[in-house]
């Protein structure tokens, strides 16, 4: 995986480079300190995953993510930030971020999230998932979902990967993919991030 690091703090970028440098399947191909620079560097380097901070001078991470997803639809963005409030989470995911992780995550969780993002599996920090799906959720709305699709939707909204869902439900990973595809068509979304936002808005 080719990874671009975007953060206005050089120390953070250095730490991420060190963490990802310990893996055989991640190659840090570049760095950027602003949103504008991130878009330019991504166009030049064509990374698979962009690890994106939200708070930076000039165009922040949300705007940079939006531009990246328009200009390079195949690029996946993993937000890595200190902010877990609902507004920022929703803004980043709506802009097209695939995953959302907090900066106090363990190094191994960062590596796992980068890998999951590359597979388009929408890794979401559990604390962020709670922000998207508050405990006092409203009654479920929207189309009636088959039981197994409901099971998959709830776990997608928690940020679980297909493999994790398969393990928890005791089914094959390919079966999870089939249920997810049927679910996406049923609720009218195109990807896991949109499904998670749909779940939040409909009280799941």
CATH code, domain with 61:
3.40.50.2300
Asked which of 131, 157, 172 is the last residue of a domain, the reply is 131
Domain assignment of residue 194, given as a range = 134-201
pTM of the model: 0.67
Query: Do residues 17 and 83 share a domain?
Result: yes
Number of neighbouring beta carbons within 10 Å of residue 38: 31
Do 156 and 112 lie in one domain? The reply is no
Tokens of 29: 């191909």
Boundary residue ending a domain (72, 103, 131): 131
On whether both 78 and 17 belong to a single domain, the answer is yes
pLDDT given for residue 195 in this prediction: 86
The residue from 86, 114, 131 where one domain ends is 131
Top-confidence residue, 188 or 12: 12
Query: Tokens 């979401």 — which residue?
Result: 124
Q: What percent of the chain has pLDDT over 90?
A: 57
Question: Could you tell me if 124 and 37 lie in one domain?
Answer: yes
* Residue 182 sits in the same domain as residue 89: no
Q: Which helix (H) or strand (E) holds 53?
A: none
Q: Do residues 88 and 80 lie in contact, with contact meaning Cβ atoms separated by under 8 Å? A: no
How confident is residue 141, by pLDDT bands cut at 50, 70 and 90?
A: low
Axis crossing angle, helix 162-169 with helix 173-187, rounded to the nearest 10? 110
Using alpha carbons only, give the angle 105, 24, 61 rounded to the nearest 5 degrees. Answer: 45
Residue 136 is predicted with a pLDDT of 42
């Amino acid at each position: 995986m080719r990874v671009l690091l975007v953060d206005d703090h050089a120390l953070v970028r250095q730490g991420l480079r060190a963490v990802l440098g310990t893996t055989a399947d991640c190659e840090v191909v570049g760095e950027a300190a602003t949103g504008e620079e991130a878009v330019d560097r991504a166009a030049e380097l064509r990374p698979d995953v962009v690890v994106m901070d939200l708070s930076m001078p000039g165009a922040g991470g949300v705007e940079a993510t939006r531009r990246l997803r328009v200009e390079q639809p195949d690029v996946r963005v993993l937000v890595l930030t200190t902010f877990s409030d609902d507004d920022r989470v929703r803004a980043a995911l709506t802009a097209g971020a695939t995953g959302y992780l907090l900066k106090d995550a363990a190094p191994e969780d960062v590596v796992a999230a980068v890998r999951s993002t590359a597979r388009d599996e929408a890794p979401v920090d559990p604390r962020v998932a709670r922000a998207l799906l508050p405990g006092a959720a409203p009654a479920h709305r929207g189309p009636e979902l088959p039981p197994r699709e409901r099971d998959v939707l709830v776990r997608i909204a928690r940020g679980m990967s297909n493999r994790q869902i398969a393990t928890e439900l005791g089914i094959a990973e390919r079966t999870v993919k089939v249920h997810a595809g049927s679910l996406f068509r049923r609720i009218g979304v195109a990807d896991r991030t949109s499904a998670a936002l749909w779940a939040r808005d409909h009280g799941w």
